[in-house]
Amino acid sequence: MKSNVCKLLSTAAIAATISTGAAAATLDDVKSKGFIQCGVSNGVPGFSNADDKGNWSGIDVDACRAVASAIFGDGQKVKFTPLSAKERFTALQSGEIDILARNTTWTYTRDSSLGLDFTAVNFYDGQGFMVRKDLGVTSALDLDGATVCTEQGTTTELNMADFFRKNKLSYVPVVVQKADEALSAYDQGRCDVYTTDKSGLAAHRTKLADPAAHVILPETISKEPLGPVVRHGDNQWKDIVTWSMFVQVNAEEMDISSKNVAKVKSETNDPGIKRLLGVEGDMGSQLGLPADWAYNIIANVGNYGEVFERNVGPSTPVDLPRGLNALWTEAGGIMYAPPVR
């Protein structure tokens, strides 16, 4: 019930906002309040998850920390609002949060009709299926007649329906309001299959009673480019969030990391790197940011490769391969960013 009340309030908030125009400068608001309000998930390990002391970490959390570093030079100036899948867009529309970084898929409808803008992709994902090993299923095409658990209010629900219809398979959907309850219904045996984005499957598998007893099927049934979202109409703010992401990808490409960025800054002769790190020219002022904005992002958050390794890489419990998210210069990677110049 609480979420409904929240939504009602935020709807009322949209209704009651004095109409000063949608293009109110988010950057000015953020600067005057001194922090960024960042909408994240209720807990998806590797993407946005709070530890027992309330410290948030994850790829999406780092997206917000990068923006905070660019503006304030301090990645800690972020406050987090945990949101369920169905609450997230209303929270952004109503101005409750400044950035929505909650493993949100970039789709046509969301971009065109919700009054939102997608900024960049910080994780290329695709929907998959997880089943118990002892069922002996090796392909999603074997799932005829299965019961499928999933979280409500995501692209997952529609992809699942399309997949089963396309392949003429029957199934029973169990759609639960929150991911945690959907997962425990699956864990308890209400469903044969749990479906969400593959990164989410890997993350959620770590929460199951016996992670080793479950297997993720090889099929990827959809394209799920995930990334931070902002309100439609504030182009400056959108550019800041977009380029905070691009800087991280460019930094990895140039072999600049949080460890060597200080050294590179003082020693480099490369004009491209000098521009990026604010040694030459003043790239930041074009966005209303300090000259060392990119330097601060790299120093505080690191390049994209570091962010990936730290949150979801093979050394973490989520243990995802780079795959599509490797740089475009690597085999199989499509992570590419326009140049900073």
Of the candidates 73, 82, 173, 290, which one interacts with another protein according to CB under 8 A?
A: 173
| Residue 200 to residues 6, 103, 129, 206, 324, Cα–Cα distance (Å) | 26, 9, 10, 10, 16
- Considering only the stretches 96-104, 158-166, 238-246, 296-304, report the one whose residues sit in contact with another protein under the rule CB under 8 A: 158-166
For residues 60 to 99, the per-residue mask of contacts with another protein, x marking binding by CB under 8 A and - elsewhere, is -------------------------xx--xx--x------
**What is the β-pairing status of strands 36-40 and 99-100?**
parallel
**CB of 207: closest distance to another protein in angstroms?**
15
For residues 25 to 64, the per-residue mask of contacts with another protein, x marking binding by CB under 8 A and - elsewhere, is ----------------------------------------
Tell whether residue 158 is a contact of another protein (CB under 8 A). yes
Give the CA angle between residues 10, 12, 14 to the nearest 5°: 70
Tell whether residue 8 is a contact of another protein (CB under 8 A). yes
Residues contacting 108, CB < 8 A, separation 6+: none
Of the candidates 29, 74, 157, 319, which one interacts with another protein according to CB under 8 A?
A: 157
Distance CA 195, CA 224 (A): 13
Of the candidates 32, 54, 108, 109, which one interacts with another protein according to CB under 8 A?
A: 109
- Considering only the stretches 34-42, 151-159, 240-248, 273-281, report the one whose residues sit in contact with another protein under the rule CB under 8 A: 151-159
Distance CA 169, CA 192 (A): 14
**Which residues face 40 on adjacent strands?**
82
Indicate the residue among 207 and 232 with the shorter CB distance to another protein.
Answer: 232
Distance CA 98, CA 101 (A): 10
User: 149 in helix, strand or coil?
Assistant: strand
- The DSSP code for 44 is B
Instruction: Give the number of residues in contact with another protein, rule: CB under 8 A.
Output: 57
- Considering only the stretches 37-45, 166-174, 235-243, 253-261, report the one whose residues sit in contact with another protein under the rule CB under 8 A: 166-174
Of the candidates 138, 139, 141, 172, which one interacts with another protein according to CB under 8 A?
A: 172
* Interaction residues for another protein, span 302-331 (CB under 8 A): none
Distance CA 180, CA 105 (A): 19
Print the SS3 string covering 169-223. CCEEEEEECCHHHHHHHHHCCCCCEEEEEHHHHHHHHCCCCCHHHEEECCCCCCC
Residues that bind another protein (CB under 8 A): 1, 4, 7-8, 11, 14-19, 21-22, 85-86, 89-90, 93, 109-110, 113-115, 135, 143-147, 152-154, 157-158, 160-162, 165, 171-178, 181-182, 184-185, 188-190, 192, 231-233
